[in-house]
Structure 1
Amino acid sequence: MKLTRDFVKVGRFIRCCGATAVALLLTGGASVAMAQKASASLQRASRTQLQDEAAQLTTQVSRSKPADRVGLQGRLSDIQNRLENGDFKPGDRFVISLRQDSVRSDTLVVRDSLRVAVLNLPDFSVVGVLRSELEEKLTAHVARFIRNASVRATLLTRVSVTGAVTRPGFIYAIPDRPLNDLITSAGGPANNADLSRLTISRAGKTLVTGKTAKRSVEDGSTLESLDVQSGDTVYIPVKRQINWQMFIQLAFVVTSLLFAFLQFLQWYYNRQEL
């Protein structure tokens, strides 16, 4: 009877552990989704929202432990840099559509001077301009020269897709484009591609990797939800493969050494018997 009660207790313990593991997995998935949603909203954040975020981070830095302070200060520095210098860098692109009597569209490229040529109008400066402010600022710029014109701006994210893809290189994509579509634009994964080890990096720092990256491809997560920005790199490594030639050579060497060792033992014991 005592043994039976022990088995029942063990069974209950296993079921409890299983339920806890499932809860942790669900919580982890929800945390990833919330983090991706927060990243997306931060990319589109207004100046007021960024200022509020900076104020909150400043308070957190002053109250945080030294171990947590570095990460908070890094986030605060990024937001302060955005507020001062804006979101655009040389090489960034966006599509502008100007509607008046007819519709005119053009793809604008940010030059080294952080200015763009808007159709046949004077240049427009993107210094200090946030993503959320672009359309409003462009509309005000165009209104100085053209009356009753509506302006629509579509941002393009410049991403480098490298590794095991058919056509590696830079790709311009709208921020709400799924990550798997971006890979398709690069010709799709090669036959030896390992999507489970896909990584997204920025300036040498890995942002997304492992299970999170694999889930992002499978779930169709967008570039914006993953906080992918212009200049980031999507890298797809090749599958790990066994080098059979090296394996055979190593096996031959090991076998040869074993055979030589056995020959030595035979010689040694034969000599002992003499």
Structure 2
Amino acid sequence: MTILTGMRMLCCTRAAVRGVLFTIVVASAAPSGAQDAPLGGPQRATRAALAERVATLEQKSSSGGLSGSAKSRATAELSAIRMRLQQGDFRVGDRFVITLRQDSVRSDTASVRDSLKVSVANLPDASLVGVLRSELDERMTAHVARYLRNVSVRTSVLTRVAILGAVRTPGFYYASPDRPISDLVMVAGGPADQANLNELEVSRGTAKLLSVKDSRKAVKDGRTLEQLDVQSGDEVKIPIKKKINWQIVIQSMLVVSSLFFAGLQFLQWYYNRQDQ
């Protein structure tokens, strides 16, 4: 046997090992059946629209037109919509801006307290139990009309999001749903050093709502939180720009070259013994 033959055998062995390692890496990196977050319909959907969606899903489920993942998805959507219809959209800690127009214009930010009650303009509390976002204007108008005359009421629900990653002051912030998602960076004090503003991610629990690829188009198009269905409790993460660590690259090359020459020396020693 020659050194050339031995090198060929060594290369084949390394190729096989690389194949095994690649298989292991792919298996471990494969997603473990991650599911999309259940949809409860558009944020500003009316009660009639949600009820119609429930009827449609029930009809499809009862007729046997759904199976497998589609059936599971429909069941999750049904549950989410029914919960909205029963409990409403508001939770403790939610906030909305309310504007009262009478002789003058007054704006205030109302916070949802325990028992889902809010207080505005020094009036008695109003309950938001079972109220949808699309019904908030009507609910608050009826409440204010009990105590004040000739008042028009407008509301704007704020979205509470966690802005994390490469920003100067990460944390939870309230933002208007009609605000472009790219503006959230400035809400959190502006970008930190090496922030990659073109590759933000949006997640809800363990589900990723907006991938890096989709976020580039969303930022470019100026899409808003509401258009992207960003809801209170979601997380927006700004990643750091990836940099090549040349020190690690050089060290790795030195290790690989050392192992290569050590292998050559071993093969030369081994085949010299075989020829003796």
Instruction: Give the structure-1-normalised TM-score.
Output: 0.77
SS at match of 1:42: coil
Structure 1: runs of 5+ lacking an equivalent: 1-38
Q: Which residue of 2 aligns with 1:110?
A: 112
Higher helix share: 1
Q: What pairs up with 1:16-35 in 2 under 5 angstroms?
A: none
Please list, as runs of the form range in 1=range in 2, the aligned pairs for 1:31-110 lying within 5 A after superposition: 42-62=42-62, 63-110=65-112
Report the equivalent of 1:126.
128
Task: Single out whichever of 148-157 and 129-138 deviates more from structure 2.
Answer: 148-157
Alignment of 1:139-178 (within 5 A): 139-178=141-180
Residues 112 and 262 (structure 1), Cα distance of their counterparts in 2 relative to 1, 3 Å cut: same
Helix, strand or coil at the partner of 2:248? helix
CA distance in 1, matches of 2:89, 2:51: 15
**Secondary structure at 2:158 match in 1:** strand
Q: What is the CA RMSD across the aligned residues, in angstroms?
A: 2.4
Give the % identical residues: 57
* Deviates most, 236-245 or 69-78: 236-245
What one-letter code is carried by the residue in structure 2 that aligns with 1:51?
A
User: TM-score, structure 2 length as denominator?
Assistant: 0.76
CA contact 1:85–1:129 (8 Å) conserved in 2: yes
Unaligned 5+ runs, structure 2:
1-38
Deviation at 1:60?
A: 2.2
CA distance in 2, matches of 1:82, 1:244: 53
- Contact 1:158–1:229 at 8 Å: present in 2 too? yes
One-letter code aligned to 1:93 = R
Judged with a 3 Å threshold, the aligned counterparts in structure 2 of structure 1 residues 251 and 148 are, in CA distance, closer, same or farther, namely same
Partners of 1:103 and 1:78 in 2: how far apart?
37
Residue equivalent to 1:179: 181
Contact 2:198 2:219 in 1 (8 A): no
CA distance in 2, matches of 1:224, 1:108: 20
| d(CA) in 2 for partners of 1:196, 1:103 | 39
CA distance in 1: counterparts of 2:163 and 2:136, whole angstroms: 26
